[in-house]
Chains A and B, each alone.
Chain A
Amino acid sequence: MTIYQILKKMLGLVALTAALWLVYLYGRLLSSPALILVWITTSALLGLGLWQRAKTRRRVWLAAYLRSESSAFRLLRGGFLMAVVQVAVASVMALYLLLTILRLETYPQWLALLGAALVLPVVAALISRLLQAQVVPVFREELSLRLALNLLAGALLLYLVWLAFGGQYPDFRDASLEQAVWYAVSNEQSRSPFLQTLLEMAAVFDGLQAWLAQRLLPTPGTSVWQAAGWCVVLAREALFVWSYLLLCSGALALPQLFTASAPTGKSEDLHALL
């Protein structure tokens, strides 16, 4: 991968982050049709990332277990059904990603996302170079991107959890659960009733989580409930980070749709992985 290609990818991902930031800034003023368009676009990009991963995984599996001339090979290579499943998953992840972005509160989170966008192509290129001697060329890019995504996901997750740990939260110690949930919900306003409902649902969950954290888990300790509470925070952040990185992955795969052909999946291309 040349420096020019890396720069192009970095620029593309920065543009993607900037677009998400504009959604963050103006999302609450958008009408429902505009928001649905944003959701569909995000789902398509995220779905592309998921599709690439699923397709590669399937091809490796097919090459490992089936003869390339068998009818099952053709039947199971991945088509409409796989696309439907990936689109469904991508829709949910895109929705979650957009909702989380709309509810981001501090700019360090945006710095982290921008940093990840800049670092991802560089790390993928470095890993690709490191794996040059070990991995077959046809899957080297894919594998290095996947490893880079995993590395960055871990780093981003740690950073976001650390931010969440040190964040400022409203004091719910003297409030009832009803008050805490209402406090969280009442701050959500949006032009689109569809988005309003989603934001309120997310706020309910946040209010509940904050209230439980302050009322039932007031002091650090070894409580199972406290561990469960942090697991929820971790899971939410992980889902957000993973959705964002998959979106980046989809954005990186976008030019390949128009230029390079995907791996054929034939056994001669894949024998090194078997």
Chain B
Amino acid sequence: MLYSEPTIEQTGMPLARVRQVFLALLLVLACVVLFSQFKIQMPRQWSGNSVQIVALDEQYYRVNQAQMAWLESFTSEHFSAGEMRSKERVEQQIDAQLDSLFARVNERLPLFADWYYSLSGEYSRMAMAVLSTGKLVEGDFVARKASEVLFPEPVWQDGLARLENDNNALVLAQQAQTRAAWLSEVQSLLSTQQVPAPIAGLEDTQQGAKPKPLDALLLQLDELDALSSLRNRVAVSSLGAAGLAGPALWRAVAARNALASARVVAAGSAAAGALLCAPGGPLAVACAAGAGVVTWLATDWLLLQLDEAWNREELLSHMAEALEDLRAGLQAELVTAYEARIAAIQSASQAAISQTFSPRTSL
């Protein structure tokens, strides 16, 4: 026993000591590595189901990426559909209002025909034609008269102003309705995902809590309203001025070649009237002049009556057709102007939607 124990110690101790040193070194190494890494390494965060907080009408909702993509697509489609509805409604309203406006113009066609087939109308046309030849007046007198009779300022301008106001109001109402419907629908769909408002001052430390401001989108879309009214006013004011509508109508009527002149024989009739006073002596000149004028007027009146009897209906018919053309042209111009405006709104609203949902504006 006494001999063997030192032998065991001699062979065992160095090996145990080596093991101890090795273990101690390993332990120190492990501790140093862990100690240095504890400070540096941070827990890895899972970002696979990242969420975003959206703010809408002072409410906050938590949506994930898929829901956000759906929300963008839904918003875009909703506003496109709203703008399509807006176009249809505006077209319908323009149609109805032009019907009403042109019905009143139609009612005034006989007044124009009465003036046209009156002696005063005849002679004022002739006088204006002479003055026009002498460059003393400019423009087409009949056209101006047509404007004055058919498109009187209060009726025509007020009607157009009402049309403009009503359609602007309709566009605004449609936009407001589209926004309200969108807000209501989105709030309803996201109601189960409503979350409390982020705590002031802690937004930066809360994941996904920097709210995506969908309210800002609504504000941007609200601002389009002002733009809409302004542009519509410009479009309408350049279109249906009374001074342009009358000549346009008269040109259309003239183009139909409706006015056959039956009154060139009136001068010959006046000469025949003057022959009646040939035996009258010194008063013959005055008599001849009076008789000539009376005969002239009577003949002219007679011829006008004949002309009216033969051509009045045709004139009225052509004027009604021209009026219809004018209405169609005006309607097309108005619809085009409003469609352009609605398209501009649509383009601006789609840009605003795209910008709002752009990844750059998300976290």
Contact = CB atoms under 8 A, between A and B. Distances in A.
Interface of A: 2-4, 7-8, 10-11, 14-15, 17-18, 21, 24-29, 102, 107, 110-111, 114, 118, 170-172, 174-176, 178-180, 182-183, 186-187, 189-191
Given A15-B30, A102-B43, A114-B31, A186 B23 contact: no
Contact of B46 (A11, A176, A190): A190
B39 interface: yes
A10 B49 contact: no
A29 B44 contact: yes
Q: For the complex, would chain A's binding face be called helix, strand, loop or mixed by DSSP majority?
A: helix
A179 B35 CA distance: 36
A7 B209 CA distance: 48
Contacts of A18: 30, 34
Given A175-B199, A179-B199, A107 B39 contact: yes
Q: Closest 5 CB pairs between A and B? A: A7-B23, A107-B38, A179-B196, A178-B196, A175-B199
A11 B28 CA distance: 9
Contact of A171 (B43, B53, B201): B201
22 contacts: A3-B20, A7-B24, A11-B23, A14-B34, A17-B34, A18-B30, A25-B44, A107-B38, A110-B34, A114-B35, A114-B38, A118-B27, A175-B199, A176-B196, A179-B198, A179-B199, A182-B196, A183-B199, A183-B206, A186-B207, A189-B207, A191-B46
A123 to B, nearest CB: 16
A245 to B, nearest CB: 18
Interface string B184-215: 00000000000111111110011111000000
Interface residues of B, number: 40
B11 interface: no
A3 B18 CA distance: 12
A189 B49 contact: yes
Contacts of A189: 45-47, 49-50, 207
Contacts of A180: 199
Interface in B311-341: none
B34 A11 contact: no
A97 to B, nearest CB: 16
B193 to A, nearest CB: 12
Interface string B30-71: 110011011101111111111101000000001000000000
B251 interface: no
Contact of B20 (A7, A114, A170, A172): A7
B162 interface: no
Between A15, A102, A189, the greatest number of chain B beta carbons within 10 A of the residue's beta carbon is seen for A189
Contacts of A118: 27, 31
Contacts of A11: 23, 26-27, 30
A85 to B, nearest CB: 33
B11 to A, nearest CB: 16
Nearest to A109: B38
Contacts of A27: 43
B19 interface: yes
Nearest to A106: B38
Contact of B27 (A2, A10, A111): A10
A210 to B, nearest CB: 11
Nearest to B27: A11
B199 A170 contact: yes
B196 to A, nearest CB: 4
B45 A28 contact: yes
Contacts of B20: 3-4, 7
Contacts of B39: 107
Contacts of A3: 20
A174 B47 contact: no
A186 B208 CA distance: 8
Nearest to B207: A187
A181 B343 CA distance: 46
Nearest to A105: B43
A178 B198 CA distance: 10
